[in-house]
Amino acid sequence: MTATEPKTHSEGVYASLRAELLGGTFLPGSKLRLAGIGTRYGVSLSVVREAMTRLAGEGLVRALPQRGFCVTPLSVDDLLDLTRARVLIETSVLRESIGQGGLEWESAVIAAHHTLQGTTYTTDEGHLGGAWSAAHQAFHRALLTGAKSPRLESIATELRDCSLLYQHWSIGIARDLDRDVAAEHRNIAELAVARDAEGAVKALTEHIERTTAALLAYAEAQTDPGRAVGISA
């Protein structure tokens, strides 16, 4: 970054690129040309590299040795492993939340669900809305707070954060638009506050696995997935 480029430029480029990545502007695995991005935003290469480094730390892009950066590929193996880990951890913590959470926990779940329900799901371009994504994360965090285990909640949140790009791809790229996401969340919330642990765990498992199924179907539909859209085994 040059002396004439304030920190706000770096923050702005980072935020804009992050929104584009999550919005599906770039296909999985595609090369990110720093010079072109710098020209488009009117900033230096050092500002673009700083933004890319931050995005790489979030798992949204990957650094290529001596070759710059690319969008994180859609890895089938990673997606399956991440899904399995999320189901194991999140359902275990949800079960404890339902067993131990009190009235304050119930109120938090209901409030978070109300916010999520009242937030627009997709943008006019058919991508997940930023406000909805934030409300979605807050709702899933609220479900687990009744377990009163910051460590388990942190692990679950970290795994959910790792799945953020996949969630956005399921809508923006795989076009999984037929599912009733609002009904899925309503079902999970109602079962949780009704203390139906088995029902809530089943609903949460199906909710997590639905995104995975959409992306696997998308991967299988590609004639040359590894080369065309950065899908790896």
pLDDT 10s digits, 32-50 = 999 999 999 999 999 999 9
CA 159 to chain centre: 10
- Quickly name the fold that domain 7-72 has: Arc Repressor Mutant, subunit A (1.10.10)
Residue-wise pLDDT tens digits, 1-32: 444 455 567 889 999 998 888 777 788 888 99
User: What is the tally of helices (H) and strands (E) in the chain?
Assistant: 11, 5
Q: Quick one: pLDDT at residue 227?
A: 41
The encoded tokens of residue 55 equal 């995005």
What are the tens digits of pLDDT across the range 60-100? 899 988 778 999 888 899 999 999 999 999 999 999 999 99
Encoded tokens for 221 = 């539909």
- Strand order of the β-sheet with 68-71 is 31-32, 68-71, 61-64
Q: For residue 231, list its beta bridge partners.
A: 74
pLDDT exceeds 90 at position 124: no
Query: What CATH number does the domain located at 75-232 have?
Result: 1.20.120.530
Enter the pTM of the model: 0.79
Pairing, β 231-232 against β 74-75: parallel
Q: Where in the chain are the domains?
A: 7-72, 75-232
